[in-house]
Amino acid sequence: MTGRLEGKTAIVVGAGQTPGATIGNGRSTTVRFGREGARVICADHRVDSAGETADSIRRAGGDAFAIEAEVTDEHSMADLIAASLRRLDRIDILHNNVGIGTGDAGATSITGEAWDRIMDVNLKGVVLAGKHALPSMREAGSGVILDVSSIAAACSVDIVAYKSSKAAVDAYPGTGDRKRLARHSGQQHHARAHQDADGHRDLRRCRLRPGRSPRGALHHRRVPRRRRWPGHPRGLTHVSRTPERA
């Protein structure tokens, strides 16, 4: 390993693993973060599974802790960030990997219950994690937020809730609170927000450029798939076609 994240800290939300022979994006990214030198918080609503991920990092000589977290509950997410700051002192990377599609269906078949559950997990979880992590990143003057999107957001697929939730995740980094990083308290903040569509689409990169006015501080561009940077999940993990894990 190259040690690209030596001295960095990271939270991976969805660091556990559903039963099966494959390894999902959450666990593979978390393990790679640890191998690259980051101190990692492994967060998952299945804390036993998150603990297994943390154990694998520690066995390899890394530093990792497991914390139980429920992405649809704001108090739980606030507690996750607070506990992470107590252990790590700062947050350099927040990786939101949780996603589900259980009960999804077409436009005339989707139930209200399934729609609400999928949107809560896939979108609300991203919003709540970012809401509570951003203040510490602003205070530190740096940070990276990584959200897992999906090619389903751009394809015509008959899973309307999942598709809509991922399309909303695509929109969120460039339009929500993160876009106003440079306007907080009249200061500029060296922070970035990225989204990854499981390696199938170009990644939209939203970065804050130092030395520019808040109004012009955000620069949006399409980043070709072949270009990766430290902290980007595809730059740090072996390619896995397994979907993100709930």
pLDDT of residue 1: 62
| pLDDT (mean) for 19-46 | 92
Residues 6+ apart with CB under 8 A from 163: 150, 152, 153, 155, 157
Residue type for position 239: V
Per-residue model confidence as pLDDT tens digits over 191-210: 455 555 543 333 333 333 33
Geometric angle at alpha carbon 221, from 217 and 225, rounded to 5°: 140
Which is nearest to 209 in space by CA: 190, 185, 184, 194? 190
pLDDT of residue 171: 85
162 given a catalytic annotation: yes
| Tokens of residue 153, six digits | 């957001």
| Lookup: tokens for 181 | 């990083």
Give the mean pLDDT of 146-154.
88
Catalytic residue among 33, 115, 162, 172: 162
pTM assigned to the model: 0.75
Average of per-residue pLDDT across 85-105: 95
Taken as a whole, the chain contains a residue count of: 246
Residue 149: predicted pLDDT: 87
Q: State the pLDDT at residue 212.
A: 39
Q: What phi, psi does 155 have (nearest 5°)? A: -100, 155
Tens of pLDDT, residue by residue over 96-145, are: 999 999 999 999 999 999 999 999 999 999 999 999 999 999 899 889 99
Separation of alpha carbons 89 and 59, rounded Å: 23
pLDDT digits (tens, 9 = 90+) for 220-230: 333 344 444 44
pLDDT band, residue 23 (cuts 50/70/90): confident
